[in-house]
Amino acid sequence: MSVLHEAYLYQDEAGFVDAARSFIDDGTAADEAILVATSATQIDALRSAVVSPEDVRFVDMATLGRNPTRIISIWRKFVQDSIGAGRGCRGIGEPVWAGRTAAELVECQRHEVLLNLAFAAGPSWRLMCPYNVRALPAAVIDEALASHPVVGMAGARWASDRYQPGLERLDPALPPPPPEFVELAFSDRDLTPLRDTVAEHAGMAALDATRTAELVLAVHEVAVNSIQHGGGRGVLRVWHESGGIVCEISDDGWEPDPLAGREEPPTGSRRGRGLWLANEWCDLVQWRSSRAGTQVRMHMTPLLNV
């Protein structure tokens, strides 16, 4: 058994609340654990609409899913805890909303495809992903139909005849950086100047001390991965974009697991921990890996812009 992953298409808040309320109340009646991750506005509307809001865990998706690569691990823990307690479970997750940047949107779409892979081996549970058809471009809705095996709308549900489980359509190379970037080739002897370069540019981007430290550590951890698994060396590129900073590490290594970094490695394991920590610390992480090499692109903005 696996996740019953549904794209639910709605046109306004009333339509969202109606569908979500029915979904939640059915779960409450079945004594299932329920986690709802959507906007703060829609959470407020649902709290007053569902029968037993005290039985529902509500989380603001703008916080939980700002970096979409974090979301699968949240669902994984929720499902494991629920099943471990002897309960069924269901969730509502809305990672795609109007206002997402182009880079965030692509990573949200990759996340939706990878959810099917992450939970392919079971246990069985339900996840409804609402999509606002009035606020989102038609191309985004088309992709939702391709990444979800089930579609819902106006209270009806059916199998999507446009479902495509593969990730290939969402895996083009990352766009090139702008012309104005700083580049530093590194090996194990160059980690101090690498950290100094990131810290200098984080200051130029007006990151506070905490976010600067998190970005420096994230880049350091990913660079160590390059040294250990990418041929002993790599390249750092840094540039400023949309009021923030982007740091990219590239190397000649290849990690074939598309879920790398999206689930916490076992205690004591070093492999995969650097990418996991980068995902936890950064506002957005874009990861691409093939036989041609690996890129990890880490985005961070000043706190006032988050």
CATH at 226: 3.30.565.10
Tell me the pLDDT tens digit for each residue of 105-159: 999 999 999 999 999 988 899 999 999 999 999 999 999 999 999 999 999 999 9
Q: Are residues 157 and 30 in the same domain?
A: yes
In angstroms, rounded to a whole number, what is the distance separating the alpha carbons of residues 32 and 216? 41
| Domain containing residue 249 | 182-305
> Which of 135, 170, 205 is the C-terminal boundary of a domain?
170
Segment 22-29 shows an average pLDDT of: 96
Question: Into how many domains does the chain fold?
Answer: 2
Q: Count Cα atoms within 13 angstroms, Cβ side, for 217.
A: 14
CA distance 141 to 35: 23
Asked whether residue 25 falls in the same domain as residue 73, the answer is yes
Residue 9 lies in a domain: yes
271 belongs to a structural domain: yes
* Pair (144, 241) in one structural domain: no
- Is the domain of 141 the same as that of 18? yes
Q: Is residue 176 part of a domain?
A: no
- Same domain? For 13 and 143 the reply is yes
Answer yes or no: is 297 within a domain. yes
| 265 vs 224, residue with greater confidence | 224
Same domain? For 248 and 152 the reply is no
| pLDDT above 70 as % of the chain | 97
Residue 139 within any structural domain of the chain: yes
In terms of domains, do 188 and 236 share one?
yes
Closest by CA position to 87, among listed 76, 79, 97 = 79
Domain stops at, among 106, 136, 170 = 170
Listed range (125-129, 183-187, 205-209, 299-303) with the worst mean pLDDT:
299-303
- Residue ending a domain, choose from 118, 148, 170: 170
Listing DSSP states for 218-279 in one string gives HHHHHHHHHHHHSSS-EEEEEEEETTEEEEEEEES-----TTTTSSPPPTT--TTHHHHHHH
Does 201 share its domain with 241? yes
Instruction: Show the 3-state SS of 191-233.
Output: HHHHHHHHHHHHHHCCCCHHHHHHHHHHHHHHHHHHHHHCCCC
Residue pLDDT, tens place only, 131-140: 999 999 999 9
C-alpha triplet 290, 291, 295: angle, nearest 5°: 45
Same domain, 55 and 12: yes
Residue 65: give its domain's CATH number: 3.40.50.300
Distance, in Å, from the CA atom of 38 to the CA atom of 194, rounded to the nearest integer, reads 37
Work out the percent of the chain whose per-residue pLDDT is above 90. 89
pLDDT value for 165: 86
CA distances from 269 to 226, 229, 272, 273, 293 (A): 16, 14, 8, 7, 23
For residues 190 and 127, membership in a common domain is answered with no
Mean pLDDT, the chain, rounded, equals 94
| Same domain as 215, residue 148 | no
Closest CA to 254 of 295, 211, 193: 295
| In-domain check, residue 175 | no
Q: Let me know if residue 177 belongs to a domain.
A: no
Q: Has this prediction a pTM greater than 0.75?
A: yes
Are both 118 and 239 inside the same structural domain?
Answer: no
